[in-house]
Copies of this chain bind each other. A is one copy, B any other.
Amino acid sequence: MYSILGIINLNEDDSRIEELTYNRPIAAIPFAGRYRIIDFTISNMVNSGINHVFIFTRDKYRSITDHIQTGRAWDLERKNKGVFIFNPLQNYYPYLRSSDMDIISDYLDYIYYSKEKYVVISPSYFISRIDYSKMLKEHIERKADISVAYKKIEKETGEYSDSDCLIIGKDNRVIDIINKKGAKNVFMETIMMERKLFMDIINKRILGTDKDLLKDAVFQLKNNLKIFAYNYDGYLVKIDTINTYYKENLELLKESTMSKLFSDSWPVYTKAKDEPPVKYQVNAEVTNSMIASGCCIDGTVENSVLFRRVGIQPGVKINHCIVMQNSKIGENAVLEHVILDKNVVISSGEVLRGTWDDPIIIEKNQII
């Protein structure tokens, strides 16, 4: 088996999901009841046999450091390998942030001293179940210089509207990349190549790389190097707007969707929190909902996702809501189409009603 160094690039545009990213990057947004968005990419790497992972942050990295800790939850607390978080060095001012090439190049010696033959670079905001070992297999078989993963979208949906799309030739070679609404081959921003080539690109030692963004630098090489497209066709969502965040969470309440994301053979790992089981009290009426451990429920919950340690008092009615960790909803409150961030307290009798296309968002630590 060839070894792969996993690189998670958190240089992700969070401007369209800012209500949830004031204090955290997209990677740290809670998702699916007990995870953070980055858990899916890390778990994909671990499940693909990768045991050496570098996470390059851009800003607001405190929540990533707190979440990853030593990496034990992913079995990535290792003597010589494991997971490492690299924050931008202080000599970069915020206005230089947009360049992931610069952030990575500051830590190039770590990549140099790694022993893996290949690297795979992935963002966090595409949630998938991609198997990088299969991607590598194709990469080697095709004798590719670079492989990039994409998913072919059947119906035109708005979910990937801001994504780059690949123009792919008959032999699966990438002809071009475009940013165009309604295109079919969504580029998952997942890139695989030999580690040495990656270092050359970061170092801009390769003819034609004069870009600040890694993906631009890579596609600039499309005529010089063999870039192949790897077709992934499993679960895929891109979480970079409030709208997709809200709908894709609730979409998981469908058995058919949930089973695409979760299965025993491809576990998703996350930090354990030592929460007790969910306590359903005498007035609990819960249907079609996903409930995380440590919740204590004495009211009515329908079509909702509750994260850890949420408290629902008697008389409460919530429907089509996402309630993040440690929020408490007081007696007889009624919430519909609402997203509560962490540690929110909703007072007794409060009524909040958003809509399916415009959910109300309550920020972290608010008392309403």
- Measured CB to CB, the residues of A under 8 A from B are 59, 62, 70, 77, 87-94
| Contact between chains at B89 and A88 (CB < 8 Å) | no
Contacts of A59 in B (CB 8 A): 90
| Complex alpha-carbon distance, A87 and B89, angstroms | 10
Q: How far is the CB of A278 from chain B (nearest CB, A)?
A: 23
Q: Which of B70, B88, B89 contacts A77 (CB 8 A)?
A: B70
A sample of 6 cross-chain residue pairs with beta-carbon separation below 8 angstroms, ordered by A number, consists of A62-B89, A70-B77, A87-B87, A90-B90, A90-B94, A93-B93
The copy count of this chain in the complex is 2
| Beyond A87-B90, A93-B93, 10 extra complex contacts between A and B, CB < 8 Å | A59-B90, A62-B89, A70-B70, A70-B77, A87-B87, A88-B90, A90-B90, A90-B92, A90-B94, A91-B94
Chain B residue at smallest Cβ distance from A85: B65
Contacts of A93 in B (CB 8 A): 93
Contacts of A77 in B (CB 8 A): 70
| Complex alpha-carbon distance, A87 and B62, angstroms | 9
| Complex alpha-carbon distance, A91 and B91, angstroms | 11
Chain B residue at smallest Cβ distance from A59: B90
Chain B residue at smallest Cβ distance from A61: B90
Contacts of A91 in B (CB 8 A): 94
